[in-house]
Amino acid sequence: MIQLLPRVFALAALITCLAVQAAWAAPRQRVLLLHSYHQGLNWTDGVDAGIRSVLAGLPGVELYTEYLDAKRLHAPEDAPALAGRLQAKYARVPMDVVVASDDDAFQFLLGWRAKVFPGARVVFCGVNFFDEAMLGAEKDHVTGVVEDFDVRGTLRAALSMLPSTYRVVVVNDRSSTGLANAKALAEVMPEFEKKVAVATLDDLTMDELLDRVEALSQGDLILLMTFNRDRAGRTFDYDESIALIASRAKAPMFGVWDFYLGHGIVGGLLTSGFNQGEVAGRMAQRLLAGESVADVPVRKQSPHRYMFDYAQLRRFAIPLSALPEGSEVVNRPASFYDEHQGKVLSVAAAFLVLLGMVMALWVNIQGRKKTEASLRESEEKFERIFRHSPDWIAILRLNGGIYLDVNEAFEKVTGFSRAEVLGRTSMDIGIYANPDQRYELDDEFLRTGSTQNQELQYRTKSGEVITVERSGELVEIGGERCIVSIVRDITQKRQAEQALLESERQKKLRTEAEIKMLQAQINPHFLFNAITSIMHYIRTDPDTASDLLVKLGDFFRKNIKPGGSSIPLAKELEHCEDYLSIERARFEERLRVSYAVDPAVLECPVPPLILQPLVENALRHGLMPKEEGGEIRIEAAAVEGGVRICVRDDGVGMDQADAEPLLAGDVSRARPKGSGLALGNVQARLVGIHGVGHGLCIETAPGRGFTVCFTIPRP
């Protein structure tokens, strides 16, 4: 054993190496996350987390990340330099998909994707005011999800919750995001300017902004969009911006993004960066799985939901009943149950246990009463079942195997009367054709206490041997261990099964005989004509003669040994081609052959020698009677449930009424002598193997050629 350990370790090391090699050999896909802003910005971090929640766990996918830092550093004129840097950096690691978050990254890729990432598809998110025309020449390479924050929904909810509001003050900056916000506000605010005054604070320094919001009074309402860059060029991330504004603002603030929630805004109909990233990640996953950009259209709406901060609702005395239906409230204080959930559940569980014990005692008392009544009823039912069961039932004492009782079915089947067996054993009456099959000698039965559907043979009183299925159970009756044996006569069932097996065997023999008959009916004229053609080419073209000899050998080898009950369609077509190559050498320009075969069906199993007889029939009886010859076309294509195969010729044809009897082998009305034998044989084999629905179908007319088709079902 110790000597085997080195071999075991060596084998384990080899398997590990092969697994590692296979993992490295697997194709890998690369995805670049191109963010418009910087890491640490709440919105950007949320988008990044949403994308990674989908893509990070995908096997074989590598993620790369770049930040344009557009709110602090990047400007549009930097695009050429950025493109050169990214092109050089990723020249040897081409990307399959680039996910662009927000407008700056999106606009950069529209102009530079073809040069920097020529083979990549683009998925965008966080893009405002999207229009299909923006894609231009990139429409076949770009898709994504639009960021459509809902200012209208937020303001409607805010004014409903604070009906005494007389002025809405919009806080916004003049960054690329702020300009996009301003465009959205211009479309929405006219609805509210009819009800309240609207003021905008956008071109200010942070200090000026803080002074202005601190001066607001009751009746004012702040709509906070973004303030990440002030007039002096200073930048603030979302956390810094909301913290400064919330520390000075006296009026309630509402927003449209969830990263402000819990930091000073009351709430609103909020858009989530995580949700934007998650949707974009799923779209990228579909592209990586093989779908085209056309299959993954731009999603022009992103999910929103009403969310509010409990602390801010209390601060401004806004009741929960004033919130829109279905709103989510964060920072709500925990209830007594939430704080003491463990203790509450423990007390409730103890109470339920005690209640359960009381109920169990009551149920037990009632159950005992019912059990006594049902026991009496069960005894009566068992007695009726025992006496009138169609299967015979016998009760035997385990110790000694003495019969204690038998039912009427036992007496009827075995021929033994009840009086003849009670007090005696199975050995005494000789009921077992094989005495070793008695219960008392069956170790398995004694160990498990039961047996199911055990097949054995019994001998009746008349001496007839019958086949039965026996089931038995060890039970206790009156304090004594007994065997309850239930036996069913299956003699006729087994005889029927044997007859079915014999029928299948005969069917198989008939099929084999039919193949041998097909092999034996090779046309001698074909052989003589083939040899004559080969002799001609020996003198004129030895290479062709050699090739024809090989094909003739292959043809006869496949006829003599076709290869089993089924072969791939490709092999059957090769057999036909061997035959046609020999005939083409003989008929030259008079015989033309074409194929229309779907490569997807070449592996479909078909009966051997099923196609060549049809081709030979087409040549001999369709084309040979025509002086100028003609064309044979072989077709195979997938259809619902199988493969449709057709052999067509443009030969002399015949009346449709005369063609139908050929399928039954009736050649009395056929064209030249011998026509119809091949069709009849093929028809009989197809029907015998696949059923009537898969027989031959014939279409023909005088001078219009002859077509024969059949369908092979897919396994």
Q: How many domains does the chain have?
A: 2
Same domain membership, residue 540 and residue 476: no
Residues 332, 312: Cα–Cα separation, whole Å? 10
108 φ/ψ angles, rounded to the nearest 5 degrees? -60, -45
346 in a domain, yes or no?
A: no
Same domain membership, residue 543 and residue 484: no
Question: What are the CA-CA distances from residue 472 to residues 120, 451, 486 (Å)?
Answer: 72, 5, 6
27 in a domain, yes or no?
A: no
Beta strands (DSSP E) in 449-492 are: 450-459, 465-477, 480-489
| 203 CB neighbour count, 10 Å cutoff | 13
Residues 488, 494: Cα–Cα separation, whole Å? 12
The CA radius of gyration of the chain, in Å to the nearest whole number, is 44
86 φ/ψ angles, rounded to the nearest 5 degrees? -70, -35
Say how many Å lie between the first and final Cα of the chain, rounded.
Answer: 48
415 in a domain, yes or no?
A: yes
Give the largest CA-CA distance in the chain: 118
Same domain membership, residue 670 and residue 528: yes
What confidence tens digit (pLDDT) does each residue in 384-408 have? Answer: 777 778 888 888 888 888 888 888 8
Per-residue model confidence (pLDDT) at position 662: 80
Question: What are the CA-CA distances from residue 272 to residues 55, 128, 254, 261, 557 (Å)?
Answer: 18, 14, 15, 11, 73
- Where does a domain end: 468, 489, 510? 489
Single-letter amino acid code for the residue at 311: A
393-397-403-408 Cα dihedral, nearest 10 degrees: -20
Residues of the chain with pLDDT under 50: 1-2, 5, 8, 17-20, 22-26, 440-441, 513, 520-521, 667, 669-674
Report the chain's mean pLDDT, rounded to a whole number. Answer: 83
Same domain membership, residue 650 and residue 543: yes
260 in a domain, yes or no?
A: no
Answer yes or no: are the C-beta atoms of 554 and 578 closer than 8 Å: yes
| 3-class SS of residue 121 | strand
Per-residue model confidence (pLDDT) at position 701: 92
Residues 59, 37: Cα–Cα separation, whole Å? 28
443 in a domain, yes or no?
A: yes
Same domain membership, residue 646 and residue 601: yes
At 58, list the tokens.
């995908």
Same domain membership, residue 529 and residue 405: no
Same domain membership, residue 667 and residue 529: yes
469 in a domain, yes or no?
A: yes
CATH of the domain at 402: 3.30.450.20
Same domain membership, residue 677 and residue 554: yes
419 in a domain, yes or no?
A: yes
Range of the domain at 592: 521-713
Closest by CA to 201, choosing from 179, 173, 232, is 173
Count of helices and strands (H, E) across the chain: 24, 24
Closest by CA to 79, choosing from 99, 103, 101, 109, is 109
